Amino acid sequence: MRIVVLAGGIGGARFLRGLMSAAPDADITVIGNTGDDIHLFGLKVCPDLDTVMYTLGGGIHEEQGWGRADETFTVKEELAAYGVGPEWFGLGDRDFATHIVRTQMIGAGYPLSAVTEALCARWQPGVRLLPMTDDRVETHVLIDDPDAPGGVHDPDAPGGAGRKAVHFQEYWVRLRASVPAHAVVPVGADQAKPAPGVLEAIADADVVLFPPSNPVVSVGTILAVPGVREAIADAGIPVVGLSPIVGDAPVRGMADKVLAAVGVESTAAAVAKHYGSGLLDGWLVDTVDAGAVDEVEAAGIRCRAIPLMMTDLEATAAMAAEALKLAEEVRG
């Protein structure tokens, strides 16, 4: 079975571990979000691709969910001694090596997809990991800025008066999503092309899965690359997602903050309807959200309520198995 998974970072990576356990013989292609890529210290950092690669390759810091196990921070400390930041982004020494190799290869002219393949030659993640695009896409978040032209934020002010756009990582990591997000913009996405292999993988797939990743800044950014949403919608294969919202709150992370920015309620049903029946065929919600099943099905999306907490590999594999089962039901 050929499975395509649209993955963000931690949630996507953990789900993939469960999927590989549930379907050990499946041929899995992961289309990874690159909208949260960032240039730090002149190096190209791809947090989501690396989280998938490290998690499936056995190099991840398990408790933290991102970054390398057994990590040290000498380079970062030295950079701080030079007065060079940002200090709010935690790059460790082992992680730095990945970004140095990536940046060197990109500087030599290789596209990100080729670089990712080269990095995976070491990590052997057991899946084919593709960036959603080789082009530069950067998710920016529009927040209030009392210092911006236009003065103190006026919610009724036209345009961007009193607001500013910050890189997603600045919003997520530095500000910890503590201020309202007025808009989420994947800058450059409209001009981006799917990376080599992305559309082909979708066309060849038997099923497409959306892990319980952030529907706006992870899965949503991948779908914003022209051609990807259409390829999935038109592939004529089951598309099944798992809700990242359990009991009206994100399982982890701060997805509610960016859902608000796109006018979507933080509920399992609202996220399903945000994807829409034109894209999504099946949706899994947690048992605590069993009351949402009817609402989702009324929107034309097959829905089941199962335990959705990825507490360990066994629970996660069970979730993946349910997703594949729902896909077969949908295929009918």
Which residue's CB is nearer to a second copy, number 92 or number 244?
A: 92
The b-or-e profile of 318-327 (16+ CB within 10 A means b, else e) is: bbbbbbbbbb
124 counts as binding a second copy under rule CB under 8 A: no
| Beta-ladder partners of 43 | 40
| 50 annotated to a ligand binding site | yes
Alpha carbon distance 151, 265 (integer Å): 29
Size of the site for a second copy (CB under 8 A): 29
93 counts as binding a second copy under rule CB under 8 A: yes
Which residue's CB is nearer to a second copy, number 114 or number 262?
A: 114
Alpha carbon distance 4, 310 (integer Å): 20
57's CB contacts (< 8 A; 6+ apart) are 120, 122, 123, 124, 125
- Binding a second copy by CB under 8 A: which of 16, 30, 53, 119? 119
Which residue's CB is nearer to a second copy, number 112 or number 239?
A: 112
Q: For the CB of residue 84, give the shortest distance to a second copy in the complex, in Å.
A: 5
Residue 281: HSE in the Cβ half-sphere, 13 Å Cα cutoff: 22
Which residue's CB is nearer to a second copy, number 113 or number 213?
A: 113
Which residue's CB is nearer to a second copy, number 95 or number 134?
A: 95
Per CB under 8 A, the segment of 67-75, 141-149, 250-258, 311-319 that binds a second copy is 67-75
- Binding a second copy by CB under 8 A: which of 63, 82, 109, 263? 82
Q: Specify the pairing of strand 282-285 against strand 302-305.
A: parallel
Q: How many CB atoms lie within 10 A of CB 331?
A: 13
Q: What is the dihedral of CA 303, 11, 166, 137, to 10 degrees?
A: -80
Tokens 């592939």, located at residue: 235
Per CB under 8 A, the segment of 9-17, 89-97, 164-172, 244-252 that binds a second copy is 89-97
Alpha carbon distance 284, 289 (integer Å): 10
Q: For the CB of residue 201, give the shortest distance to a second copy in the complex, in Å.
A: 25
Q: For the CB of residue 305, give the shortest distance to a second copy in the complex, in Å.
A: 44
Beta-strand runs (E) in the chain: 2-7, 27-32, 38-40, 43-45, 128-131, 138-144, 163-167, 183-187, 207-210, 239-242, 245-246, 249-250, 282-285, 302-305
CA-based Rg of the chain, rounded to a whole angstrom? 19
Contacting a second copy within 23-62 (CB under 8 A):
41-43
Residues in the chain: 332
- Binding a second copy by CB under 8 A: which of 84, 152, 249, 315? 84
299 counts as binding a second copy under rule CB under 8 A: no
- Binding a second copy by CB under 8 A: which of 25, 81, 109, 263? 81
- Binding a second copy by CB under 8 A: which of 51, 98, 214, 221? 98
Residues that bind a second copy (CB under 8 A): 41-43, 72, 74-79, 81-84, 93-94, 96-98, 100-101, 103-104, 107-108, 118-119, 121-122
Bind-site residues: 50
